[in-house]
Structure 1
Amino acid sequence: MARKLGNEVMMDILKEYQVEYVFGIPGATEIHFMEGIEATPEIQYILGLNEMVCVGAAEGYARAKNKPAVLNLHTGPGMAAAMPLLLNCKYGKVPLVITVGQNTTSLLGKDPQLSGDIVGMAKPIAKWATEIHTAEEIPIAMHRAFKMAMQKPMGPVVVSIPYDLMTQELEYEAKPLPKLDYKAGRGSQEMIMYACELLEKAEHPVMFVQEGVARSRALKETVEFAEKIGAAVYQIWMGDVNFPVNHPLYQGDIDSTSPEMKAVLQKADVVVGIGCQMFNDAFPSDIVMPLKENIFIQIDEDPWEIGKNFPVDCGIQGDIKEILAELNLALQSKKDLQEKAALRTEIIKKEKEAETTALNCRIDSEKDNKPIAVSALMNAIKNAVNESVCIVDDSWSSSALLRKIVPLGDETSFYRPRNGGSIGFGLPGALGVKMAYPEKNVILVSGDGSAAWSMQTFWTAAHYNIPVTMIITNNGTYRQVKNVRKRILGDYLLNERHVGMEIDHPRLNFKQMAESMGVEGVQIYEPEEIEAAVKYGMFLDKPYLIEVFVENPAK
């Protein structure tokens, strides 16, 4: 068996896992790792000028590919700077393999500069973290890292590597990996049959879906299941397309502590949660959920989520796609259920049609508003795109209208921070999605506050010529914070000025910033100009910024 340097073995392992890109920003502790990258033309290093850019791009790529992205960070400072978006990856169960350069092993006992408690820092955000101290541990740690990142539930893992290990020799022979299958299993057949019994008796079933559907690539099975039982479908938080937004059964987002949620549960007898976190409330409420009259069925790949906040009547842990396929097969012969489902579907469909009519009336009434109405912006995007477009959403206060107006129908067509989390994902996330799907048009829609967190993305987009159409809504305020203020303190005019919530003196000029980093852009004040600008951006074979000055209404 050949003896190789540690950095050569690292490259062999990355190639074994068919790694195309390493996202990162190097420092002194990564010099030998970077020497390995330079000698490996099969792997491209994507440089970000800030860790937010590196992590966001890695998340976008990992979610689009549904496999681990590799992120390389610079010791303690790099790990610390990456934390906000790494927390997003933990919340969203995004598979990342994160290597962190550590100071040489001979100095670690001296509490040296260029070091840090990498494993301790990683604990809040990582599924698994380790620091190795011999070159012989490199293959063990790296193969385990890829396994842990992909094994359900997926998530980020961290390996801290002292830089002297990169120049030590060890025996290693690269070889093709066997076919790897990290599915969570079929689920209990007994519980699947019990779920069928409950659903067959149900008169008013309701469904909640979340990102577990997209992670499992189970959209087709989820839609078929909802149609078979005739259930209205809601999302407490939409970070992916977990149900087509234009489907007649889809009712959109719902706040788990709202009066609307209480009304939905009061009407329902059987509640089905698929790949979602049930009642992980963001705000306190005097509404006690769930209601004792409800029968709960919960399906998830992650046993932690099943019954986490309250006991469920029927919990099925396993691969969501396979469980739903078996449920659909078992429900196929239930003729009484089919008849009841058809009647329920017609009622829900009429409610959806009324909501769509009201939304279209709003769009029409606001189409000529100046400053530009958010509804006009989203309608222009809708008119400009086709079904193959990927939308990356970091627009927060504008996001609800985006998700109502733009036809999002495919599980790989929409990317938004999962389960809340930090702002700043959108700009770099869009680059990662485009790198995963070079044949598709990728459009970012970001708020100005979010874009300010990761504006260095413009440089990375220009440097590697990653052709993403970047739409930034500029309203000069943290409007999402004002929305939350209204939730906590009560009703008020949202265009009131409040400390720490205004970013209009001076107003950020993203066109100037983008152009200073090599990205062409345009500023738009007239609603009729938006659609043509979006089409032009998608036509270009380079990154393009569209800065839209939107409304900041009182309500």
Structure 2
Amino acid sequence: MHNGNIDHQTAATTGGVPGNREVEVQAEPEAQQPRNVSDLFVQCLVNEGVEVIFGIPGEENIPLMEAIKRDGRIKFVLTRHEQGAGFMAATYAHETGKPGVCLSTLGPGALNLVLPVAQANASTTPLVAICAQGNVNRLYKESHQIVDLVSVFRPITQWAAMVLDAAAVPEMIRKAFSVAQRKRPGASCLVLPEDISQLAAPVQAEPLPLPRPVHTIPAPDTIVEAANLIGAAKHPVILAGNGVARSHAEQQLKEITELLNVPVATTFEGKGVFSDKHPNALGVVGFMKHDYENFAFDTADLILAVGFSIQQFDPIKINPNNDKVIIHINTFTEDTDAHYPASLNIRADIKNTLVALEAELRKRTISFEPSHPQIRGLLQREYESCKADMSFPMKPQRVVYDTRRAVQGDWPVLVDTGALKMWMARLYPTYEPSTCVIDNSLSTMGWSLPGAVGASLSAPGVPILAVMGDGSFMMNLQEIETAVRYGCRIVILVWIDNAYGLIKWKMDMHTKDHEFVDFNNPDFLDLAASFGAKGHEITSADELYPVLRSALRSGSGVDLIACPVDYRENMKLISKLGDIDFAS
């Protein structure tokens, strides 16, 4: 019943003229937009468990971005460079175990993804890259921003393809994620042309059901053969790579080494799969010169390689004379290398293989005498050698020591490529997998700052430490803005030497001189402030530990710590390693 009052909506409908008979007009229901290929694409991504995409949109993927917004279940993280997006996605994948997803537009945007996609593929990290493309009717000719992206990405992925049929979307997305997570994980790339993305989706097209996980088991005869080879050895050593973490087989590795009393060395990328607190831990192999751990391989007659791939370092470092029996355990057969002639390849789930091998070994009486305790002693002495050293710029040994003191046991530390990688890999004690993350397959510079953003978004509230040289820091520093904007909790520790330190080190080793490697740096305090981050400049050796500890425990925001380092220790280390002779 009309009560004489006219609300604003009714007045607008009737012209708002008092005394006129009120006519109720119901608003037309908003027509539901027909589902297009982009909507189907997003549905399939959600079905695969995608929760976040890192990237930069462009004109050609506006339909896909609109579909992401309409669906509302995927968080889109806007980055400042596509390279940063790829590194964020790869580190997100490394920390969660789920494929990371990055997105770009066509042409130049897609080409900026090449480096992180190649890095993920090399380090067996599951990653799916989504690239836009121009309309299909101009792909056959020279056209603005058109690049044959499938041909670009095919050599650096497990699979790359372009969507040309709307009905193929569910299968192609299922394949992209399946390939990224197969027995040798890696990257895949899907290219979506703009006109295809706007086509009507077939009514019957729906996301495919996810397959049940498949965990392969080793053939029983190969387990018996492995046990026979181990039983015939006199000085075996275990080499553990990043595949152990990927398969969550750390406990099984620990049980086998304790059963046999066999020493364990890890690759740089395998740091943490075997705790450095364990008495059988040898540290890492992969340094550019004959390091302490290499002496264990010099005297070994059998190498049990678990989760190792030769991309992590050149096998000539551990088998220069081709005189070792090698048992290779991984989810994939290793590539050919003259210094890695596996006597036995066991291609199966790593955890299942170690469980079966331990059961077989327990049927026998096999144990070895403790070996190479001097290696642990040398490492510990070097780690503690500069803990009270007050010289400044700081010695690398003290920077590593104070960093380990400041970092709580399981907080992730991402170590970039450069001279600092050598010091951190060798000396930073690591007790859990994925708590000291190093890229030593492609050895990419500049990944750890954006990587810290990806790691932070995978574990909100957990402080993430990115350790970088000043050369690598300047390559992706723009992502500090991304970190601040998304409320990430990260600390960036920059080792300052005003040079590309690792190249300088190698030049000094080569000719005792160097050239073309020195540069200048910005004011780090002003730089941090300009991004809304907190800046800290270390001016004496006793400042780093309290500043780093406080930054990691502050509970919010982004901290940038600039710490001058004295790399004259680099050549002193080379000289010291050259003088070691365990035989004397």
* Amino acid in structure 1 at the alignment position of 2:561: I
Residue among 517, 529, 534 paired with 1:501: 517
Check conservation: 2:242, 2:267, Cα contact below 8 A: no
Report the structure number with the largest CA radius of gyration. Answer: 2
1:380-529 aligned at under 5 Å gives the runs 380-394=402-416, 396-487=418-509, 489-490=510-511, 492=512, 498-504=514-520, 507-529=521-543
CA shift for structure 1 position 404? 4.5
Matched residue, 1:541: 556
Give the secondary structure class of the aligned counterpart of 2:125. coil
Give the secondary structure class of the aligned counterpart of 1:207. strand
* Amino acid in structure 2 at the alignment position of 1:31: I
CA shift for structure 1 position 419? 1.6
Identical aligned residues as a percent: 21
Deviates more, 1:27-36 or 1:374-383: 374-383
After superposition, the Cα gap between the structure-2 partners of 1:444 and 1:313, relative to the gap in structure 1 and judged at 3 Å, is same
After superposition, the Cα gap between the structure-2 partners of 1:357 and 1:416, relative to the gap in structure 1 and judged at 3 Å, is closer
* 1:487-513 CA-partner distances (Å, limit 9, x unpaired): 5x25x2xxx6x4321123xx2333333
* 1:345-384 CA-partner distances (Å, limit 9, x unpaired): xx43x3245224422551235x211112222222222222
> With structure 2 as the length reference, what TM-score do the two structures score?
0.85
Residue among 546, 563, 568 paired with 1:532: 546
Check conservation: 1:25, 1:50, Cα contact below 8 A: yes
Aligned residues: 535
Give the secondary structure class of the aligned counterpart of 1:522. strand
Matched residue, 1:112: 143
Distance 2:287 2:232 in 1: 25
CA shift for structure 1 position 173? 5.8
Matched residue, 2:191: 160
Check conservation: 2:48, 2:210, Cα contact below 8 A: no
Tell me, yes or no, if structure 1 residue 180 matches structure 2 residue 180. Answer: no
After superposition, the Cα gap between the structure-2 partners of 1:478 and 1:256, relative to the gap in structure 1 and judged at 3 Å, is closer
Matched residue, 1:313: 343
Larger helix fraction of residues: 1
Matched residue, 2:377: 354
After superposition, the Cα gap between the structure-2 partners of 1:210 and 1:360, relative to the gap in structure 1 and judged at 3 Å, is closer
The gaps in structure 2 that reach 5 residues or longer are 1-32, 572-584
* Amino acid in structure 2 at the alignment position of 1:351: Q
After superposition, the Cα gap between the structure-2 partners of 1:386 and 1:101, relative to the gap in structure 1 and judged at 3 Å, is same
Matched residue, 1:370: 392
Matched residue, 1:14: 45
Tell me, yes or no, if structure 1 residue 5 matches structure 2 residue 36. Answer: yes
* Amino acid in structure 2 at the alignment position of 1:56: F
Check conservation: 1:473, 1:549, Cα contact below 8 A: yes
Distance 1:546 1:279 in 2: 32
CA shift for structure 1 position 442? 1.3
* Amino acid in structure 1 at the alignment position of 2:163: I
Give the secondary structure class of the aligned counterpart of 1:511. helix
Residue among 554, 567, 571 paired with 1:552: 567
* 1:72-124 CA-partner distances (Å, limit 9, x unpaired): 12212122222222221121011111111000112223332132100110022
After superposition, the Cα gap between the structure-2 partners of 1:521 and 1:182, relative to the gap in structure 1 and judged at 3 Å, is farther
* 1:274-298 CA-partner distances (Å, limit 9, x unpaired): 1113487669x8x894535422111
* 1:134-191 CA-partner distances (Å, limit 9, x unpaired): 22222221111111111111110011110112221122565684453154x1122211
Give the secondary structure class of the aligned counterpart of 2:385. helix
Distance 1:133 1:32 in 2: 16
Matched residue, 2:579: none
* Amino acid in structure 2 at the alignment position of 1:478: Y
The gaps in structure 1 that reach 5 residues or longer are none
Give the secondary structure class of the aligned counterpart of 1:528. coil
> What CA RMSD, in Å, does the superposition of the two structures yield over aligned residues?
2.6
CA shift for structure 1 position 24? 0.6
Tell me, yes or no, if structure 1 residue 103 matches structure 2 residue 134. Answer: yes
Residue among 140, 165, 177 paired with 1:134: 165
Give the secondary structure class of the aligned counterpart of 1:130. strand
Give the secondary structure class of the aligned counterpart of 1:485. helix
After superposition, the Cα gap between the structure-2 partners of 1:244 and 1:357, relative to the gap in structure 1 and judged at 3 Å, is closer
Does 1 or 2 have the higher relative contact order (CA < 8 Å, sep 6+)? 1
